[in-house]
Amino acid sequence: MQYMLIIHNDPNTHPTPGDPEWGQLMADYAAFSEQLGSYTGAPLNDPSTATTVRIRNGETLVVDGPFEETKEWMSGYYVIECDNLDQALKAAAMVPSAKFGSVEVRPVAEM
């Protein structure tokens, strides 16, 4: 089964570039990704860079900003292959940002 690990962070509590913990965090991510082996995933830029698109009555509406303003926002994701939820939960607990924010585990729907 495929699972998406969705990383949510509060920018007030999560290290940012320049913080003393930043270097360690990046090293942890590199180690984690290597351990995963094959995966899809990426970090995302912050919501101030987001643009949202909707089509209503045939008209495309483009607005500045994220779908929803929240204190915690999605800052990255992984898609991994696992035998069962327990494996996915174990991987989620190893995501370095789990120490600061939270990691939501969602099964990818089978179509």
104 vs 25: CA distance, rounded Å: 19
Does 89 participate in binding other proteins (rule CB under 8 A)? Answer: yes
Q: What is the closest distance, in whole angstroms, from the C-beta atom of residue 35 to other proteins in the complex?
A: 16
Name which of residues 10 to 39 contact other proteins (CB under 8 A).
Answer: none
Amino acid at 8: H
100 vs 102: CA distance, rounded Å: 7
The overall longest dimension of the chain from CA atoms, in Å, is 50
Which span (10-18, 21-29, 30-38, 88-96) binds other proteins, by CB under 8 A?
Answer: 88-96
Q: Which residues bind other proteins (CB under 8 A)?
A: 1, 3, 82-86, 88-90, 105, 107, 109-110
